[in-house]
């Protein structure tokens, strides 16, 4: 991929367990709110296809509900039915006619944060039966927002059924052709709800102590590991902190990460927040990197960092400092689907572009020298 003898770390291969990616730029999961009945649409094809032609090392699909009721909204992807599986199978097959970039899928259950409207319309909770809404579930019957419908508190039998739903979705993901599964244990969704003492007020074996609060995450990981092929990569995304005193902490995340590594997970993807709306999060460049650094010190499997990482040199510095093993990019890719090209240019890396795009490089296109410079306008 590169022509320089000493490549920047961002453009060196990385093994995520059995899957080796060509470089350490990962397209993070980004919800598109464009599915119909949980089924991928042409929007997903153009959205993901552009990234597939961008030279990223790995692309991870958006949060995909392991059940329809586990979706964030009525417009999110799910992987519970044959129709949903068939659409994702076709999507991957079509993309692989022009790109061999590895694809992952983030399997999720939104828990009490399910059944919401479009985020650009406020993302308000949808009441059961209204605009496709349904009753969410959670560790208890406490809603995420005061104006939201009370979730149904899961029974132990229903928890077991949820674990089984993750397993069945993983089997479908394998049949569809995905190379990697990322379990969604972050951003205030169901697994994170069970982890956080701010939300999990249960008094049974799924609540109270750290051991009990981790139980669901570990059961899901162990059950999915048992069915997910060993030649494919399996990891998890975790919110390392709730940013609230008395909430889920970096120290607890480190303990959980070690247990997940022992189960056989291949990577940990670190983010933060999302479980309560009152958290004061100090958003800024690299604001989540210290948490990734702490988890990297606790485990031997790769750790992925994310959060306000917007340039190639910024990403490279994080890797050079040993604070993470890979960098996941989300909204910066929405802003510029050719983010990898810009990073390579900034770091002096000569990418091997698809022949159909090589004419857009400085070697063959004089306009490349002008693209970042103001154009002189002739006076009338």
Tell whether 365 is covered by a domain.
no
Tell whether 251 is covered by a domain.
yes
> Residue 321 pLDDT more than 80?
yes
pLDDT of residue 88: 98
Tell whether 144 is covered by a domain.
yes
On average, the pLDDT of the chain sits at 95
CATH of the domain at 63: 3.20.20.70
Calculate what percentage of the chain has a pLDDT beyond 70. Answer: 96
Tell whether 375 is covered by a domain.
no
Contacts of 126 (CB under 8 A, 6+ apart): 73, 74, 115, 116, 117, 132, 133, 134
Q: Name the domain count of the chain.
A: 1
Question: Range of 310's domain?
Answer: 9-353
Helix-helix angle 82-95:156-176, to 10 degrees: 30
pLDDT of residue 134: 97
**For 192-248, how does the pLDDT look when each residue is reduced to its tens digit (9 = 90+)?**
999 999 999 999 999 999 999 999 999 999 999 999 999 999 999 999 999 999 999
Taking the C-alpha atoms of residue 21 and residue 201, their distance in angstroms, rounded to an integer, is 41
**For 129-138, how does the pLDDT look when each residue is reduced to its tens digit (9 = 90+)?**
999 999 999 9
Tell whether 48 is covered by a domain.
yes
> Residue 376 pLDDT more than 90?
no
Contacts of 165 (CB under 8 A, 6+ apart): 66, 67, 70, 80, 109
Choose the catalytic residue: 33, 75, 118, 189: 189
Tell whether 96 is covered by a domain.
yes
Taking the C-alpha atoms of residue 249 and residue 243, their distance in angstroms, rounded to an integer, is 8
pTM: 0.95
The model's confidence at residue 6, banded by pLDDT at 50, 70 and 90, is low
Q: Is 177 left (phi over 0), alpha (psi -120 to 50) or beta?
A: left
List alpha helices for the chain, DSSP H: 42-52, 82-95, 156-176, 190-195, 210-213, 215-227, 250-263, 289-298, 312-320, 331-335, 339-346
Annotated catalytic residue 33: no
């Amino acid at each position: 991929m590169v022509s320089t003898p000493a490549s920047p770390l961002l453009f060196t291969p990385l093994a995520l367990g059995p899957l080796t990616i060509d470089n350490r730029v990962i397209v993070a999961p980004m919800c598109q709110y464009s599915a119909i009945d949980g089924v991928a649409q042409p929007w997903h094809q153009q959205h993901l296809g552009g990234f597939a032609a961008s030279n990223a090392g790995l692309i991870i699909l958006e949060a995909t509900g392991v059940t329809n009721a586990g979706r964030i909204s009525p417009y999110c992807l799910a992987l519970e039915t044959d129709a949903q599986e068939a659409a994702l199978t076709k999507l991957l097959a079509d993309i692989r006619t022009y790109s061999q970039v590895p694809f992952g899928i983030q399997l999720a259950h939104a828990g009490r944060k399910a059944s919401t409207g479009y985020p650009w319309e406020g993302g308000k909770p949808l009441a059961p039966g209204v605009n496709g809404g349904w009753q969410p579930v959670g560790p208890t019957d406490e809603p995420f927002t005061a104006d939201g419908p009370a979730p149904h508190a899961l029974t132990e039998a229903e928890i077991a059924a949820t674990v089984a739903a993750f397993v069945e979705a993983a089997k479908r993901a394998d049949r569809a052709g995905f190379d990697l599964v990322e379990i969604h244990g972050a951003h205030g969704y169901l697994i994170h709800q069970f982890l956080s003492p701010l939300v999990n007020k249960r008094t049974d074996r799924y609540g109270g102590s750290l051991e009990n609060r981790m139980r669901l995450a570990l059961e899901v990981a162990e059950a999915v590991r048992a069915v997910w092929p060993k030649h494919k990569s399996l990891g998890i995304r975790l919110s390392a902190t709730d940013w609230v005193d008395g909430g889920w902490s970096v120290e607890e995340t480190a303990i959980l990460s070690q247990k997940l590594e022992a189960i056989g997970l291949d990577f940990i993807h670190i983010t933060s927040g999302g479980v309560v709306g009152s958290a004061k999060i100090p958003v800024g460049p690299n604001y989540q990197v210290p948490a990734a650094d702490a988890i990297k010190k606790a485990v031997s499997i790769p750790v992925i960092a994310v959060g306000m990482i917007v340039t190639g040199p910024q990403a490279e510095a994080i890797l050079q400092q040993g604070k993470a093993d890979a960098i996941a990019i989300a909204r910066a890719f929405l802003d510029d689907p050719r983010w990898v090209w810009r990073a390579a240019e900034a770091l002096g890396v000569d990418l091997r572009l698809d022949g159909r795009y090589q004419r857009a490089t400085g070697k063959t296109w004089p306009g490349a020298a002008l693209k970042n410079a103001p154009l002189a306008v002739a006076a009338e």
